[in-house]
Amino acid sequence: MGLVENRLVLDVTGPGYERRHILSLSPFRGLIKDYFMICESYYQAIRNSTPAQIEALDMGRRGLHNEASNLLRTRLTGKIETDLDTARRLFTLICALHWRG
């Protein structure tokens, strides 16, 4: 998994199977940006906010993560079959590739 010219590249291999899938990340740009913003808010809230505020941000963060994961599953339809948990992990990796900490 990697980024090439701002596209997601997935190299999938197995016994007797090798395929490369390239996916535009344009549909994910806003979701990735929003996800980083809500994560930052969440980490700030952990230090300064009430448990109710932290829980609300966490619910929003998880909801956004699920939305992006569902979009990823849709974009991979006909290419790679994946369940929601795997798509969530893949979205986490996509975010890690974009992180500029």
> pLDDT (tens digit, 9 = 90+) per residue, 28-54?
999 999 999 999 999 999 999 999 999
Q: Is 74 a domain residue?
A: yes
Q: Is 9 a domain residue?
A: no
Q: Is 2 a domain residue?
A: no
What is residue 36's predicted lDDT score, i.e. its pLDDT? 94
Q: Is 43 a domain residue?
A: yes
Q: Is 11 a domain residue?
A: no
Q: Is 19 a domain residue?
A: no
Q: Is 7 a domain residue?
A: no
In contact, 71 and 27? CB cutoff 8 Å: yes
What is residue 5's predicted lDDT score, i.e. its pLDDT? 87
**What backbone torsions phi and psi does residue 21 show, to the nearest 5 degrees?**
-115, 130
Q: Is 55 a domain residue?
A: yes
pTM (two decimals): 0.85
Count: domains in the chain: 1
What is residue 93's predicted lDDT score, i.e. its pLDDT? 94
Spatial distance between the Cα atoms of 64 and 59, rounded to a whole number of angstroms: 9
- Residues 41, 1, 95, CA angle at the centre, nearest 5°? 5
In contact, 73 and 87? CB cutoff 8 Å: yes
